[in-house]
Amino acid sequence: MELNNEDDDRATPRTVLGRRLRRMRETANLSQRALADKVGYPHTYISRVERGEQLPSEALAEDLDTHFATDGLLAELLSMAQDASIPDYGREVVEREGKAARIQVFGSSLIPGLLQTEDYAHALFRESLPGESEERTNERVATRMRRQRVFKRRQAPYYWAIMDEAALKRPIGGSACMMAQLRQVLTAVEPSQVAVQVLPFSQGEHPMLGGSLSLLTFRNGSTTGYVESFFSGELLESPDKVLALTHMFDVARSKALPEHESLTLIRDYLRRYEDEDDS
């Protein structure tokens, strides 16, 4: 799920945030340098935020809210800007993701987004979007990391991820990045509501080669399917299509290793990356 390109000629949550910050700073009779000194960030960073060229980090938004006593206004605008940055085809599924009672995902060649580390996500965005500024890449990563808050909900969803062995073998970001990524996956499965299985190469073909699938089940029993490719995604709700997607997921699950064997395979790959890093 990538970020949309924004039209600089129209008001967006990004530009509204920047304008509101500038007004608050000017009302307080502070220069950008003076404000930067008070909150402990570079004045050039403050300037880029005011011009709408860069979103603030969550930490900066919170520090600015504290300084101006704005009761979380800038943090709320930041959340709105991050939501607006998700393309139309992915925005609704992200919203529903936060309400699901169960999330089932299959990824054919990548670690699923809700389990990714910042470095892993950064490596993916940097390669898939060459020429993009570092600031925008960082914003994409921050938006993806924000989605992981779903696991901190009071009633966190049951999360079941199946990934192709290719996701373990392909060294996204290099050995050190993969070491941290696989350790995060192993940590993520410690809570009982998170399960990960690996579909090994030895199983040969399967029904979801080259694609990704999410199934979101809600407390009323309804299920929504979401399939995504490079620059498009489709939300599917009709019973016949959801049934077909559920069948595909079930076939992949039947071919996947049991969870304890999957975790053993992940640990094996982790040791390989550790050995490469030591050599």
Q: What is the pLDDT of residue 153?
A: 86
CB distance 77 to 162 below 8 Å? no
The secondary structure of residue 110, as a DSSP letter, is: S
- Domain 13-84: which CATH class? mainly alpha
β-pairing, 233-236 with 223-228? antiparallel
Q: What is the pLDDT of residue 90?
A: 64
Instruction: Profile the chain (279 residues) by mean pLDDT over runs of 10 residues.
Output: 46 87 94 94 92 88 93 87 69 82 91 95 87 82 88 91 95 96 96 94 80 91 84 82 93 94 97 87
- Alpha helices, H only, the chain: 13-27, 32-39, 43-50, 58-68, 73-84, 88-97, 118-128, 134-147, 166-169, 175-188, 239-255, 259-278
β-pairing, 212-217 with 223-228? antiparallel
Q: What is the pLDDT of residue 154?
A: 85
Beta bridge partners of 105: 161, 214
Q: What is the pLDDT of residue 2?
A: 39
Q: What is the pLDDT of residue 3?
A: 41
CA-to-CA distance for 265 and 262, rounded, in angstroms? 5
89-278 placed in CATH 3.40.50: no
pLDDT digit string, tens, across residues 228-241: 765 667 888 999 99
241: its two tokens: 């299509």
β-pairing, 194-199 with 158-164? parallel
CA-to-CA distance for 185 and 116, rounded, in angstroms? 8
Residues of the chain with CATH 1.10.260.40: 13-84
240: its two tokens: 């016949």
pTM, to two decimals: 0.77
Q: What is the pLDDT of residue 241?
A: 93
Neighbours of 133 (CB within 10 A): 11
CB distance 213 to 93 below 8 Å? no
CA-to-CA distance for 275 and 217, rounded, in angstroms? 40
CA-to-CA distance for 119 and 126, rounded, in angstroms? 10
**Quick one: which of 32, 36, 198 has its CA closest to 111?**
198
Strand (E) or helix (H) holding 171 = none
Q: What is the pLDDT of residue 5?
A: 44
Q: Return the sign of the alpha-carbon dihedral for residues 41, 44, 47, 48.
A: negative
Residues of the chain with CATH 3.30.870: 89-278
